[in-house]
Structures are given as structure tokens and as C-alpha cells.
Amino acid sequence: MSIDRLINLFVTITLIEMMVAVGLRVTFAEIIDTARNWRFVARAVVANYVLVPAVAIILLLLFHADPMVAAGFLVLAVCPGAPFGPPFARIAHADVPAAVGLMVILAGSSAVLSPLLLSVLLPWLSGSEAPQVAPLGLVGTLLITQLVPLLAGLLVNHWRPQLAARLVDPFERVSKFLNLGVVGLILATQFQMLAEIRMMAFLGMLLLLAASLAIGWLMGGPDAELRKTMALTTALRNAGLGLVIVTGTFAGTPAATATLAYGIFAVLGTLLVALWWGRQRAGA
């Protein structure tokens, strides 16, 4: 088995396990409560599937990014629903139930919307230099690796809550181990490419992260806690889903390096913002 196929298999297993773990700790009531605030959800959809990808494309064009690097960033730009949203919302003293519901809604919808967006935006951004995405095949893959495991965890939590309570801690520990393994494996195989990242690339990542936070804040509505929740959720991108896409479609290219680099950058940057908001709230 080639190293690229090994990485893709490892990333896929990690995403499946992570989605089951997410489902085990979420209830249908939390999702329904968030969905009832349809204006909030609609603004989140616009922020995550329209505004963030639009800003990413503008920055990639301004920075004249390499087509494969651009593909890696664009993949993450269209992949919301990161599982870090609720814990970061807790750190920031934001609306945690809304973060949980929004995470599940975005993670579930991204299995369908992300491949469709990529099939439209990627050829326009990268032209013929980047491999073309087969949206139907990718939707099928993501339904199996993301939506089905998420629903499985939700159903176990709904029908057997005591069993879910016993399973959630072991599943989350395994999830952390697998995520560290994925990052370590990609760092080991892509180290040379990561070492060649220039300061201009970090500036671009900083601008995209700042724009994503601002978009979420502005689209969050008048409630301060919901604004923080929307900002954190919008800034965080689903690196697990993004890596499944790039390792399956753009294996052995700088796209995987770009996806991993921005995924780590966004998590660390958003964590700093959450800690700052949390300290402000504690001080008040």
C-alpha cells in the first residue's frame, strides 16, 4: 500500500470515529432547539457556505497562490462543522447548546454541500491545473464517512443514553489519539513542503482567519453569546472532512499540506480568541 493510500485510509477511519464520538454526546433536542432559531441557522449557512469561501477565493487570487495550494485552502473554506466548536464556546462563555446544534447541522450538511461547492468553485479558481472533483462520488463518500457515523452516534444516545454515556469517554480518547496520529503522519510525509511555507502564506492564513471571525461575529445577531458562538464556529473549519477530501482527490500534492497547515492555524488562532473572551467574561 502506498503512503498516500495509507494516509487516506487513516484519515477516513479518524473522521468516522470522530463523527460517532460527536453523535454520542449530542441529543436530538439540542439540534432541534438550534434549528428552531431558523434565522440564526440561515445566517450560519450564508456565513459558512457563501461568505467564507468568497473571502478565501479573493485572498487566493490576491496572493497568486499555486493552484494546488489554492485547492487545499478552498477545500477547508467550504468545510464547516468542526467538533471543536462546543468546547471553544464553553471556554469563551458563549452559547454552548447553540454551538452543539450548529456544529451538527453544519457537519451534516457539509457532506452534501461541500462537494457541490468544490465542483463549481475549484475549476473556476484553479483551472485545468487542479484535478477535477466528481461531486456525486464525493457526496457518497462523505455521507458514509461523516453523516452515517454521526447519525449512528445520535441514535445510540437517543435510544440507549446510558450506553452512550459509557462509550463517549473511550471514543473521545481514541479520537484524540487518531487525530494526533493523522497530524503526525502527514507532518512526517509532508515536512519538506511545510518547512517551505513562506511568511506571505502565514499572512494570508491570518487574514482568512480574521475575516472568518468577523463574518461570524457580524452574522451572529444582537445576542452577545450567540455572536461569539457564530464567530467561533465560522472561524473553525472541519479539518477532518477537508483531509478526507484532499487525501482522496489530491493525494501527494501540496493541497494536503495547505489543508493541514490552515487547519492547525485556525484551531490555535480560534482557541486564543476563545481564551481572550473567556478571560474578559471572568474579569467582568
Looking at residue 261, its pLDDT comes to 86
- pLDDT digit string (tens) for 19-35? 898 888 888 888 899 88
CB atoms within 10 A of CB 234: 29
pLDDT level of residue 129 (50, 70, 90 thresholds) = low
The mean pLDDT of 239-257, rounded to a whole number, is 82
Higher pLDDT, 137 or 103: 103
CATH code for 3-279? 1.20.1530.20
pTM: 0.86
pLDDT level of residue 128 (50, 70, 90 thresholds) = low
- pLDDT digit string (tens) for 33-45? 988 999 999 999 9
